[in-house]
Structure 1
Amino acid sequence: MRTITAIRIWLAVFIVGLVLSGVTAFPLQAELTLLSQTLHGSPAPGLLPGLVEWVDRVRHALDDSGTRYPFLSYGTDWLAFAHLVIAVAFIGPLVDPVRNVWVIWFGVIACAGVIPLALIAGGIRGIPLGWQLIDMSFGLLGVIPLLIALRLTTRLPTPHTPAET
């Protein structure tokens, strides 16, 4: 019983991460404005001028596109929705990890896919390497609870399927 509880805790950590990532993709303009103001009110401009310049650049781009082309934000709305839908998929392993171990594997593969996507798309889109590393960290951090849940799941007995006749 302890193993099932531990699996559920690790899967819940992953689900919460997905939900938070999804929900925070909706108010990007407000978040970037707040981040920019916070950075400017801190020692960051002197210590990390490149970071402050990048955040300001992204904030200005979101403000401009939000004013002139608000429909572009619809793409990040769908990104947010996708995170929430993927989180729902992990309810299956939360209830029955052995039967739904494939969903955990799906999550591990998706987390691994974050790294080439960040490097390839980030390079094509002109995203600074430091920001690509931050993006990659989501895959690296996300895979940790999944790998723990996967390892624990393999310790559980598997249900026997009836022999085919």
Structure 2
Amino acid sequence: MTQQAVSPAVSGVYVVHRQDGFVISDDSARLDVDVVHGYLTRSYWSPGISRALVEKGIRHSMVFGLYGADGAQVGYARVVTDRMSFAYLCDVFILETQQGKGLGKWLMEVVFAHPDLQGLRRFLLATRDAHGLYAQYGFTPLKSPDRFMERHDPDVYSRT
């Protein structure tokens, strides 16, 4: 996988190319919101989420779109962050037709290498089934789970 980054200072957008034609960009204007919404609404973590909430999440987060050689979006990741001390990785997916090509691992490498996500004190995520993937990037179970609390409403999207 030959990669080449385009400096954010040059283009205002962080873009990484892969030799086989795939591209990752943090340009939210490039996202295909229909693809993102379509996947998220059928995912286990946000079933039935409205398009309006997906758009709101995009506006208020760092987003990464993964695109095929034809320009069609095939993957996505979102990071909620203050770009100084904290980040929360969420909504990561690769379309089923593109899985098994190493794209998810590449997407994570690009996300974690982003200049605005360096030097953070804490980077969190929640997953039901991808612990092995995220462990490759330094994620571990909470060291002090007794210090963390949550307000969790798993049915919120079905009421909005």
Flag the structure with higher strand content. Answer: 2
Point out the structure with max Rg over C-alpha.
Answer: 1
Flag the structure with higher helix content. Answer: 1
Give the TM-score, by structure 2 length: 0.25
Higher RCO, 1 vs 2 (CA within 8 Å, ≥6 residues apart) = 1
Give the TM-score, by structure 1 length: 0.24
